Amino acid sequence: MASRKPRLVWIDTEEVSGEPGYFNPKLEQVLHIPGNDGYLGRGLHCVRGNLLRGRERTLDTLNIWYIDDFGVNNLNTNQSLHGTIPTLVGDTWGEKIWKGPMVAVMKVGNEWDPRQVTDISLAAYRDAIDYLGYFRDGYGSMVDGIGAEDRLSKKVLADRTGKVKGVRINCLGDQAGDSARQLVQVEVPKTHPLFNLEGDDPLDIPECLGWQWVVKRYASKREPRSGDGGEQDLVQNPLARLLLLQVSGNDEEWEPWPLPDFEPLFITTSDTWPECSNLPKRVDPADPFAIFELFFTEEVLNNLAEHTNEYAELQRAQDSATTKPNARP
C-alpha cells in the first residue's frame, strides 16, 4: 500500500472446501493492514472486458481484490495508484480514490466465476489500471460491466477510443542520408498520455488556423536530463524548430501580402491561333514538364540551388552563434 510501484509477486492458491477443482488465491499476507485484528472484509471486481481498448470480452477473467473500508483502521490512500506525479491513473477519468492494498489475479476463462487460476499478463495489468481509473462509485467502471452502459460512459469512451494520425519528426541521426525519414506518419491511440498528461500546445500557428495540436519530445534513455525540457534539442532540429515559430495578430509579418498586379499568360500554339502563337513548335502544350523546362532552364535551376545553399550556410552560422550544440561522448 505504501509502495509507489506496483509489484509482481507469486501468490499461493488453495482449493475451496467442498468445491473440487475450484481454486482461490490465498490473500491473508498481502491484504493485511497493521493495527487491525481479526477478519478484514474484502471486495472483488471481476473484469471480463475493456471497451476502452476495443476488447468487449477478454479470453480470461481479471479479479481485483481489495479491502472493504468499513471499520478498518489506518487504511491509507493506495500510493501505487495515486502517489506519483503524474499518477498511474492520471490519464483516466480519475474520480475514485482507492485506499489500501489491492491484488489483481487472473482466472482461466471468461465466465462469471472461473475455477482455475493462471499467470497474469501485461495486457491484464493495463486492463486493471483502466478499470480502476474509470471507476465511479454507484455506477461501476466505464470500461466494463453495467457501468459502461450509461450515457456518460458511452460519451467518454467515444472520445477516447480509436486512433488519430500523427507525425513523428525523427532525430538528426535518423534523418541523415534519407529525406524520406525526416517525417513519418504514425497512428497514436487516443488513450496515449500525450493527449492528457504529456502533451503541450506551444504552437501558435496551428492555433491561429483553428487547429488543436499537441507535441512532446521523447528523449533517449541515455541522454542526460536537462532543465529546459529538451527545448534546446528541438531548436537543433530544423524541422522541429519550424513548429516553434510564434506569431501575433498585431505583427506586420502576419498580415497577408497583397498579390502583385499581373495578367495571366495565355499559352497558344500555331494550331489554335496561328496569328498570335507564343509557344515554340518543339514544345508539347499537353506536357507539363515541357512547359516547366521552358521557364526553368538548367541555368535558372543552378542559380536557385546556389542561392538556397548560400542562405542555408548563413542560417547555420547564425544558429551556431546563438545556440550551443549538444555534447557527444
**177-234 tens-digit pLDDT:** 776 778 888 888 888 877 777 666 556 667 777 777 777 777 665 555 555 445 555 5
Q: Residue-wise over 57-80: b if at least 16 C-beta within 10 A, else e?
A: ebebbbbbbbbeeeeeeebeebeb
pLDDT at position 26 over 80: yes
The predicted pLDDT at position 105 comes to 95
Q: What is the percentage of the chain residues whose pLDDT exceeds 70? A: 75
Q: What is the percentage of the chain residues whose pLDDT exceeds 90? A: 30
Average pLDDT, whole number, for the chain?
79
Q: Phi and psi of 61, rounded to 5°?
A: -105, 135
pLDDT band at residue 72 using 50, 70 and 90 as cut-offs: confident
Per-residue model confidence as pLDDT tens digits over 36-67: 877 788 999 999 999 999 999 999 999 999 99
The predicted pLDDT at position 61 comes to 96
The predicted pLDDT at position 141 comes to 96
Domain boundaries, the chain: 13-160, 170-243, 263-322
Residue of 100, 118, 1 lying closest to 63 (CA atoms): 118
Q: What are the start-end ranges of the H helices in the chain?
A: 79-82, 122-133, 151-160, 172-175, 204-208, 231-236, 238-243, 288-295, 298-322
Q: Which of 18-27, 84-93, 111-120, 239-248 has the lowest mean pLDDT?
A: 239-248
The predicted pLDDT at position 211 comes to 73
What pTM did the predictor assign?
0.64
Per-residue model confidence as pLDDT tens digits over 133-162: 999 999 999 999 999 999 999 999 998 888
Q: Are 146 and 110 in contact (CB under 8 A)?
A: no
d(CA 290, CA 298): 13
Per-residue model confidence as pLDDT tens digits over 305-314: 887 777 777 7
Q: Are 3 and 77 in contact (CB under 8 A)?
A: no
pLDDT at position 271 over 70: no
The predicted pLDDT at position 326 comes to 47
d(CA 292, CA 287): 9
Q: Which of 13-17, 109-113, 256-260 has the lowest mean pLDDT?
A: 256-260
The predicted pLDDT at position 328 comes to 43
pLDDT band at residue 327 using 50, 70 and 90 as cut-offs: very low
pLDDT at position 129 over 80: yes
DSSP string, 88-129: TTTTS------BS-EEEEEESSSSSS---EE---HHHHHHHH
> How would you list the strands of the sheet with 117-118, edge to edge?
42-47, 61-67, 102-107, 117-118
d(CA 3, CA 1): 6
The predicted pLDDT at position 329 comes to 43
Residue of 46, 164, 60 lying closest to 108 (CA atoms): 60
Per-residue model confidence as pLDDT tens digits over 88-122: 888 888 789 999 999 999 999 998 889 999 999 99
